[in-house]
Structure 1
């Protein structure tokens, strides 16, 4: 069985990689704007510059989202034992393993996968305050909580 600390470390690694790749994309897009400014003129130049600006804006949004994920990550306590489904809990169900954190989706942890879900997501809301042995329904499917830690 995977440990909460392993999940926490994989979660952290995913976020840090996302931040680094976002910074790289932002720098490349900004560099593209500078390159376009140096040698082009006319409509083609304006179109290229506008497209590069769109890429800068997109990379900036992705970076901002990753930084927000990091701020949630910093609130999590991997040593804290949970008795109910709340922020930071690892929840084993008959339908997979969930980490109540932020909505980044499925991440690999060792040989398994863990679904990182936000507390405000539909599944996070369905799980909130549930305890071991209790069930919840999502998209017409009944899911039973087997273990929380």
Structure 2
């Protein structure tokens, strides 16, 4: 399995998210400047709501920056146990331990990207091929690790 290509796709998706949040923040700031009127308190309330939205978007953008920093530390070397950077095949699916950005399709396979902090990864962390683990009363067997 080509983990370099998988990492590239994740980095691209994170870059797209950064651009999306930066655009949303810029648009929200612009609308904040456009809301000037003589309506007094309603104007101030509207400005405060827009500022709260900007703050919320900024927190989300910072989380994506944190994910980018984490993904930069991952090296696409082969793994022999479940650890950060490992691609794991279980009898239930493919999981890539990196950052949590959801399901991606790579080499015609659906791969769920999961954080090392997720309960799933914590349940299988350190395990090797053919070992079993359980999460939410679902038993899984590790079939392969790249």
TM over 0.5: yes
> Paired residue for 2:87, among 84, 87, 90?
90
- Partner in structure 1 of residue 128 of structure 2: 131
Q: Distance in 2 between matches of 1:101 and 1:89?
A: 8
Deviates more, 1:83-92 or 1:102-111: 102-111
- Partner in structure 2 of residue 13 of structure 1: 12
Per the alignment, in what secondary structure is the counterpart of residue 51 of structure 1?
Answer: helix
Higher RCO (C-alpha under 8 Å, 6+ residues apart): 1
Structure 1 residue 148, shift from structure 2 partner: 0.5
8 Å contact kept, 1:10–1:108: no
| Cα displacement string for residues 28-66 of structure 1 (whole angstroms, at most 9, x for unaligned residues) | 111122222x44431221222122112101110110010
Q: Distance in 2 between matches of 1:123 and 1:26?
A: 33
Q: Distance in 2 between matches of 1:96 and 1:40?
A: 58
Counting matched residue pairs gives: 146
Structure 1 residue 110, shift from structure 2 partner: 4.1
CA RMSD of aligned residues (A): 1.4
Structure 1 residue 111, shift from structure 2 partner: 2.7
Q: Superposed, which structure 2 residues align to 1:1-149 within 5 Å?
A: 2-36=1-35, 38-78=36-76, 80-149=77-146
Q: Distance in 1 between matches of 2:7 and 2:82?
A: 16
TM score, norm. by length of structure 1: 0.91
Per the alignment, in what secondary structure is the counterpart of residue 107 of structure 1?
Answer: strand
